Structure formats: structure tokens, C-alpha cells
Amino acid sequence: MWGNAFTACARASGTGRDSDPGEKRGVGAVSSPTFNGMNPPAASGFRRTAITALLERVVATTPVIDIHTHLYDPLLGGLLWGMDDLLIYHYLAAEAFRYLEEPPEEFFTRPKTEQADRIWHELFLAHSPVSEACQGVLTTLHRFGLDPHVRDLPALRAWFAQWPLETHVSRTLEIANVAKVYMTNSPFDDAERAVWEKGFLRDERFVAALRIDPLLVDWPGAARRLSDWGYNVGEGLSASTCGEVRRFLADWTRRLDARYVMVSLPPDFAFPASSDTAQLIERVVLPHCQELGLPLALMLGVRRAVNPRLQLAGDGVGRSDLSALARLCEGFPQNRFAVTVLSRENQHELCVLARKFRNLHVFGCWWFTNVPVLIEEITRLRLELLGLSFTVQHSDARVLEQIIYKFDHTRRILVKVLADRYAELAATGWETTEAEVRRDVRELLGGGFERFCQPAA
């Protein structure tokens, strides 16, 4: 029982009454006495220490299933890695543009190393790297055993450049303790489509997700492309056109062995509606997902190209009307929806909706919410409203090594938040075994999502 695990930890940490071997304590004996029916006091210091020590071990050693990234199977091509890609990541570029004199258009014409030089100077040398994206680079270097304090960018570049990619991929996944990576795979990406059509030997650690934004947010443009690819579609959403779009989705779901279908939608996404987006979701995407037993992953609240001059760094955020999500969950109980929202203001409402609809799985602290202050706030909110039935984090990594810091930072917060919850349990006398803690953490770090993805029996 927790008492054993807990006592062992207390003994190991050499603190507290419970480490006294002479005392025989039965179930509940470790709980604090109730004071005239008042709530027992929160778990005292030594108990917290024991709980935190156990959680640090369990959270660190529980492999993560990373359910949304922009990483690629090494043989698919397009995988970004190494020091320059870490530095020119669009999160850092956006922060550097706040200091750089030159216009973004000029900056983007420069070679990657020159862009990285400028970002390194502005965000690490001329100003302390206190932002989450900057600290992430330093956490990553530290976990590789590198000392960025030398501030020698050429030496850091050379360290990365020496490794064969396959070796580096395996070592990075091992350091991050990530067991599986869900990619973002788009047939609308010309380079990627060509490799899928030719075929390649898959790395089982990288699984596919079919990303269909162009289909849903720019139907006229997508219709022209589907037509070029041999799908007999017209611009109007006739029954035959919808049938052809389903054939397109079926072809690519099969080619990728896609585990879910994903789209990101703007804050003004409405459902039900007469828009192409709503009509295609209702008449094509959801029937396809239901037929193949796939969840539809929705990422809601992104305002694309708020400042297009910043390219990938130019997107912004807006608060979504989540009544659209409520109508989807209610209207399509046979479909499953994995959802994350970009606006902090939408987080509470999303949790309440998840309490109403079991076909809604909440995941991740996406993009602008992937900062410690909000990861902690959002994870506490979800634990207190949803218990363990959500997925704490996805990395959204675009550069291989980012999975190290994105999960290192989340794991630290998860230990803190879970320690509070388990300490509250312990203070009521509820003992949790180490096996139960391991089960709970597995659930939160991707196990629950993979079960959510399984078609109903």
C-alpha cells in the first residue's frame, strides 16, 4: 500500500514518524487525526517530501507518448535538428524580431547560420535568455551534457554536427524518455506527398496523423488540388463531390496508417453552419472518422497570419466560441474528439464541456499556453475538474531536440501539481500505492489518449 511505498520513502528521506519501524500502522493509520470533524490538516512536511520523491521517480521514468508534433520519421525527410534549427525556431524568431533592426523580409533571406547568429546574439548574449523558448534551448543543451555557459556557438554547432542522424534521434528520444511520436502529415505538402506516394521504410517510433487544414479552411483551393490528383470534385459540395473527398481521406488514411485526423480552426469556427468548413466536417470528415474508428483532433483558436511578415512566427490567438464544439460532441456521439484550445480564456469552458461529453478528450498546453505559468494553471484546473481523464502535454516540437525541454519542463510541473493532489489524499487517510501512482501518470502522459483512440469494442 502507499503506506509501504510512502513509509519507505519517508524512511529513505530519514524524516518523520512513519519511518519509525517500531510502529505498526494499519490502513488509514498514517492519516492525520480528524479534529472534531474539521478537515484534517494538509499532509505535513515529511509526507510531502516522500510523495514528491516518489513522483519525481515515477514521472521521470514514465515514457511519454507525444501525441502531436511536427517531427518526421528520419526516412520521410524534413526532420529539423541541431543547433541552428533550435535557434531559428519561430518561437525564438518572434522574440528576436522585437530587438532586430532589420526587416523580417531581409532576415529570412539570410542563410540559417546567419539567422541563428542574430538570434543567439539578441536573445542570449545581448539579453538574458529568460523566455520559455530560450530557456528551452538551454535545458536541451544541459541535458545533452553541454555547457552553454561557454557561449561558443560554433562549438555548439560542431557538437551536434558530428552525430549520424539515426544515432542522434535515438539518443534524443531516450533522453526525453519519449516512446512514440505522432507526426503531422499533410498530403497538401508537395515534398511530403511525393515521399508517401513513393513509399519508405517506416520507423515504428513515428506514427502518422492526417492533417487536413487546407481541405477545411480553403476548400476552393483544395478542390483544385484534389482534381489535379484525380479526384472528381467540383467546387460545390454535391453528394458526388463529398464522395470523392471521402475517397481522398480514405486513400491517405490508409497510405499513412493515420491514427487520427487533425485540423486547426480559427476562433470564429461555427457549427452547425453553412460554411464549407462546417459542411465538410459534417458530411465528409465525421462519417470518414466514424467509419474508420478514428478520432478527429481539433485545435481551436488560432488566428493565422496576424502579422504575415513574420511567416510561421506571424500567427496569433483568439478566444473560440466553444458552443460549436458542444454541438459536435452532442450531435455526433459516435465520433470522438481530441481537442486543445489556444486561448487561456477557453480552458475552463473546455474542461466543463469534457465533463459533459465522454467523446471529448482534452489534451496539451498548446503553443502560447505552453509556458510554465499556464501549464501549471491549466493542469491544476484539469486535474481538479477532470481527474485523470486528459492528456497533460504534447510537445508540438518542430525541431527534434525540443522534445527534451518541452517534456522536461512539463514533468517538473506535473510532479508539483500531482504532489499537491496526492498530499491532499494522504491528509484524508487515502493511501495510494506506487503502482497506482504509476498507473495515473501513464494515463496522463499519453496512455489515456491511446485508449481514447481505440475504436469502441
Contacting residues toward ligand HDL, per CB under 6 A = 70, 184, 264, 299, 312, 367, 396, 398
Q: Toward Zn ion, which CB reaches closer, 148 or 364?
A: 364
Residue 12 contacts which entry, ligand HDL, Zn ion, none (Cβ below 5-8 A, type-dependent): none
| Strand, coil or helix: 98 | coil
Residue 277 contacts which entry, Zn ion, ligand HDL, none (Cβ below 5-8 A, type-dependent): none
Give me the least distance between CB of 299 and ligand HDL, in Å please.
Answer: 6
Cβ atoms 376, 342 nearer than 8 A? no
Q: Give the number of other CB atoms < 10 A from CB of residue 98.
A: 9
Q: Toward ligand HDL, which CB reaches closer, 62 or 264?
A: 264
Cell of 416: 508539483
Cell of 176: 526525453
Give me the least distance between CB of 93 and Zn ion, in Å please.
Answer: 16
Task: Tell me which DSSP letter residue 338 carries.
Answer: E
Spell 37-67 as b/e; 16+ CB within 10 A means b.
Answer: eeeeeebeebbbbbbbbbbeebbeebbbbbb
Q: Toward ligand HDL, which CB reaches closer, 123 or 299?
A: 299
Residue 47 contacts which entry, Zn ion, ligand HDL, none (Cβ below 5-8 A, type-dependent): none
Q: Toward Zn ion, which CB reaches closer, 95 or 396?
A: 396
Q: Toward ligand HDL, which CB reaches closer, 244 or 396?
A: 396
Q: Toward ligand HDL, which CB reaches closer, 268 or 384?
A: 268
Burial zone of 82 (CB within 10 Å; 0-12 exposed, 13-18 middle, 19+ buried) = buried
Q: Toward Zn ion, which CB reaches closer, 168 or 398?
A: 398
**Helices 372-386 and 347-356, interaxial angle, to 10°?**
20
What strands lie across the sheet with 337-341, from one edge to the other? Answer: 210-211, 261-265, 296-300, 337-341, 360-362
Give 164's contacts (C-beta < 8 A, 6+ positions apart).
none
d(CA 309, CA 230): 35
Residue 421 contacts which entry, ligand HDL, Zn ion, none (Cβ below 5-8 A, type-dependent): none
Give me the least distance between CB of 212 and ligand HDL, in Å please.
Answer: 12
Cβ-closest position to ligand HDL: 396
d(CA 220, CA 73): 31
Cβ atoms 389, 354 nearer than 8 A? yes
User: Which residues lie near Zn ion (CB under 5 A)?
Assistant: 396
Give me the least distance between CB of 349 and ligand HDL, in Å please.
Answer: 21
Give me the least distance between CB of 401 and ligand HDL, in Å please.
Answer: 15
Give me the least distance between CB of 81 and ligand HDL, in Å please.
Answer: 16
d(CA 209, CA 449): 14
Q: Toward Zn ion, which CB reaches closer, 248 or 366?
A: 366
Give me the least distance between CB of 304 and ligand HDL, in Å please.
Answer: 9
Task: List Cα–Cα distances, 182 to 134, 257, 260, 284, in angstroms.
Answer: 24, 12, 10, 23
Give me the least distance between CB of 397 and Zn ion, in Å please.
Answer: 9
Q: Which helix (H) or strand (E) holds 360?
A: strand 360-362
Residue 312 contacts which entry, Zn ion, ligand HDL, none (Cβ below 5-8 A, type-dependent): ligand HDL
Look up residue 453 and give its amino acid. Answer: C
Give me the least distance between CB of 369 and ligand HDL, in Å please.
Answer: 10
Cβ-closest position to Zn ion: 396
Residue 394 contacts which entry, ligand HDL, Zn ion, none (Cβ below 5-8 A, type-dependent): none
Q: Toward Zn ion, which CB reaches closer, 297 or 360?
A: 297
Residue 398 contacts which entry, ligand HDL, Zn ion, none (Cβ below 5-8 A, type-dependent): ligand HDL
CA atoms within a 13 Å half-sphere pointing along the CA-CB vector of 290: 14
Residue 87 contacts which entry, Zn ion, ligand HDL, none (Cβ below 5-8 A, type-dependent): none
Cell of 91: 518561437
CA atoms within a 13 Å half-sphere pointing along the CA-CB vector of 248: 27
Q: Toward Zn ion, which CB reaches closer, 5 or 263?
A: 263
Cβ atoms 114, 102 nearer than 8 A? no
Residue 264 contacts which entry, Zn ion, ligand HDL, none (Cβ below 5-8 A, type-dependent): ligand HDL
Give me the least distance between CB of 395 and ligand HDL, in Å please.
Answer: 9
Q: What are phi and psi of 90, to 5 degrees?
A: -65, -20
Look up residue 443 and give its amino acid. Answer: E
